[in-house]
Amino acid sequence: MMRVDREDIFPEKVGEPRKWFSEAGALWPRLIELWLTAVVVAFFLIRVFGSQTGKRLLNGLGHSHFQ
Amino acid sequence: MRFLPAIFANVILVASALGFGRLLRSLFPENFSEIDRFALTLLGGLGLLGTTLFCVGQFWFSRFAIVLVLLPGVLLSVGIFPGALRKHRTLFTMGSPPILPLVVVSSVLIVTAIGGFAEPIGDMNSDAIAYHYHGPKVWLREAVIRPVPDEVLTSFPSVVETQFAALMSLGGTRAAGLFSFASLVSLLMIAASLATRLGLDGRGAWWVVALCATMPALYRGAYGGFIDVLFAGFLLGAARIAFDAVALRHYVLFGIFCGIAMGTKYTALISWVLLVFCCLLFSALGRRQSLPLLVKNLGISCVVAIVVCAPFYLRNWVLFGCPIYPPPPGLLRFFPATKLLPSVLQEVQHNVLETGRGLGRSIGSFLLLPFNLTYHTADFRGAGGIGLAPLALGPLGLFACRKDPFAIALALFAFLQMTAWFATAQVSRYAIHVYVLGAIFAVLGWQYVAKQGSKYARAVAAVVVALSVLYGLYMIVPDRVENMHAAVSPAFEDKRRHEETPYLESFDYLNAEPSVRKVLILGPYVAPFYSDKPYVKPLGRWGEQTIPDANDLQAVLSQSRELHVSHVLDVFPENGPLKLPENSPGLTLVFQGKDQRVYRID
């Protein structure tokens, strides 16, 4: 079982902002990265590959690959 | 050479607007920057000019009358041109303009300018042909501004349409198309103004402008007779003033902009209430002035707004018995004297509900709105969307400036506005002002990521902006290629005109034939915009009946002499009850084309 570092979750002093919620903490930058990546991936999935043009392009690639 | 009248008309109109806008400059807060002042001068001037043209046009709307209205504005603007040119260089000198957004914005503006020269074409499905350009053309012909009887939507508020009329009068229909350039520039200026107010530097403001210019959903509201970009500019101008207002004159200016917006589009009535609410809330919380004084100032701003937009609503009240016309069903309880046929009201209402249906009105749809507006804009008639940046970076921008009351006030306004939009008519064009705010918060978010984010986050944020801009250009430019081709190639324009103008041969005949005095157009879906001669259309596309007690063809024809009709245009296949039988007595066939016939009344 993975050991959870107590300090990461529980601040030592009452009133001190929790590290995982503070801007300087490790989670916030990761969340930003994840959010931005998700938006870009969704764009490719929905607007590019999900569009009629994208589907035609993918179909064309598939046909040329199997011929 | 064929472009010169259009350019001339637009230069005169914009110069006149700047002159009218100059009258507002004494109301500006002292701390407004040059970009604020220029944007508000241009937008305020366009609004005042449109309102003045409307008021004068109720009595007299000849070319001479239009010139008389434009002239004082032009004279007023002469004095400010050297200073304005020198000062508004500040836009370019807010640091050296970054090359990428400069290229992007220039490309979009060039496409807009060239495409704007194309003659408008289309059928009654085009809002421009059906009423935005059609109303002005009829007003000019009849030398007075009155709603066109066969098109109920020409009774909408018309700050922008009166300017289309002025442009058509001075430079033909191309001039009205070219006005898209001035409209777009006005909106981009106020976007830059708000961006600067929210703390972005010149570079950031340029990126805001680039993101706005490449939002296909925003851009669609700028051309083809649409008035939504200018409408959004008026609302953003009002917001720019509202949340920094401290003195009475600032509130008066806020009221003027709200009034102009309400004189442009009915949806501004809701936006006005929301702006007043947000202004009250944030000024009270910010304790910038005592509550009684704030309420008094906002009350005065409301009175000013009502006075500015009153001509449009009073005209409808006097003519039709209801200030908002066609009235929403709920309003009929208060204004029962409206002259509108119930069937017409039903048709219009059905159309409003149909076009504004969006993706439904459930809580789930509301929560998914940012996602759907980004990825499924076609469901809102969104013409290619708003790009990725508002969804990806907007929340981060909002987080970054969470302590700035001005930013929070704008964000609250945007949220309430989108809620109202969601509950009423989910048409993408109606939310352009919120898209602009989305672009501003996106650039603020980008700046935040650039400062706080990891190397990877910075790279993905740049990819988000690049995708937004490139995808926007990919959607916008091909959409305008045909217009640009038509503008530069008379042969192609003529070919396109023949292909896409319904019953063009008949209209060409009627317009060229000197014996034609007045045309009876029987088909409700025939676009009378193409008739240069006066016409009577007994049945409009919404079921409007323009000749009293003439419900069938015989009744219409029997009244045609009294109406001084000389020719009848009959088209087929055309849905409608007024079908002309073969060899009708009293009518001589004088022109025949594919699916169209013109008869002379003997």
Q: What is the pLDDT of residue A17?
A: 42
Computed over every residue of chain B, the mean pLDDT equals 92
Q: Tell me the whole-structure pTM to 2 decimals.
A: 0.92
Summarize the confidence of residues B172-201 as an average pLDDT. Answer: 96
When divided into structural domains, chain B yields a total of 2
How far apart, in whole angstroms, are the C-alpha atoms of residue B128 and residue B536? 20
Taking 60 as the threshold, does the pLDDT of residue B471 lie above it? Answer: yes
Question: Considering CB atoms only, which of B376, B454, B460 is closest to A40?
Answer: B460
Is B444's Cβ below 8 Å from some Cβ in A?
Answer: no
Question: Considering CB atoms only, which of B395, B454, B467 is closest to A43?
Answer: B467
Q: Is residue B108 domain-resident?
A: yes
Q: Is residue B572 domain-resident?
A: yes
Same domain, yes or no: B117 and B171:
yes
Q: What is the pLDDT of residue B582?
A: 75
Q: Is residue B330 domain-resident?
A: no
Same domain, yes or no: B478 and B512:
no
Question: Considering CB atoms only, which of A36, A39, A43 is closest to B457?
Answer: A36
Q: What is the pLDDT of residue A6?
A: 36
Same domain, yes or no: B199 and B303:
yes
Token pair for residue B574? 């055309």
- Say if the Cβ atoms of A40 and B463 lie within 8 Å: yes
Residues above pLDDT 70, as percent of chain B: 96
Low-confidence stretches of chain A (pLDDT < 70) are: 1-25, 52-55, 57-58, 61-67
Domain boundary among B483, B516, B544: B483
pLDDT tens digit string along B85-134?
666 565 555 557 889 999 999 999 999 999 999 999 999 999 999 999 99
Same domain, yes or no: B252 and B170:
yes
Question: Considering CB atoms only, which of A29, A40, A46 is closest to B464?
Answer: A40
Q: Which structural domain range is residue B247 located in?
A: 4-320+472-483
Domain boundary among B483, B513, B548: B483
Same domain, yes or no: B596 and B478:
no
What is the three-class DSSP state of B22? helix
- Say if the Cβ atoms of A32 and B388 lie within 8 Å: no
Same domain, yes or no: B95 and B9:
yes
Q: Which residues of A touch B460 (CB under 8 A)?
A: 33, 36-37, 40
Same domain, yes or no: B152 and B221:
yes
Same domain, yes or no: B541 and B595:
yes
How far apart, in whole angstroms, are the C-alpha atoms of residue B71 and residue B294? 38
Q: Which residues of B touch A42 (CB under 8 A)?
A: 375
What is the three-class DSSP state of B596? strand
Same domain, yes or no: B132 and B252:
yes
Cα B574 to the chain's mean position, in Å?
A: 30
- Say if the Cβ atoms of A36 and B385 lie within 8 Å: no
- Side chain identity, residue B214: T
ipTM: 0.86
Summarize the confidence of residues B204-222 as an average pLDDT. Answer: 95
Domain boundary among B483, B512, B540: B483
What is the three-class DSSP state of B539? strand
Same domain, yes or no: B509 and B479:
no
Q: Is residue B11 domain-resident?
A: yes
**B567-571 and B596-601 strand pairing:** antiparallel
Q: Is residue B428 domain-resident?
A: no
Nearest residue of B to residue A37, measured between CA atoms: B460
Q: Is residue B466 domain-resident?
A: no
Same domain, yes or no: B477 and B589:
no
Residues above pLDDT 90, as percent of chain B: 75
Q: What is the pLDDT of residue A62?
A: 67
pLDDT tens digit string along B418-460?
999 999 888 889 999 999 999 999 999 999 999 988 999 999 9
Q: Widest CA span of chain A, in angstroms?
A: 68
Please, which residues have CB within 8 angstroms of residue B334's CB and are 6 or more apart in sequence? Answer: none
Q: Is residue B122 domain-resident?
A: yes
Same domain, yes or no: B172 and B216:
yes
Phi, psi of B227 (to 5 degrees): -110, 5
Minimum distance, in Å, between the CA of residue A12 and any CA atom of chain B:
25
Q: Is residue B210 domain-resident?
A: yes
How far apart, in whole angstroms, are the C-alpha atoms of residue B348 and residue B42? 34
**B596-601 and B587-593 strand pairing:** antiparallel
How far apart, in whole angstroms, are the C-alpha atoms of residue B95 and residue B425? 41
Q: In Å, what is the CA distance from B585 to each residue of B146, B510, B558, B581, B596?
A: 34, 21, 12, 10, 18
Is B388's Cβ below 8 Å from some Cβ in A?
Answer: yes
Q: Which residues of A touch B395 (CB under 8 A)?
A: 35
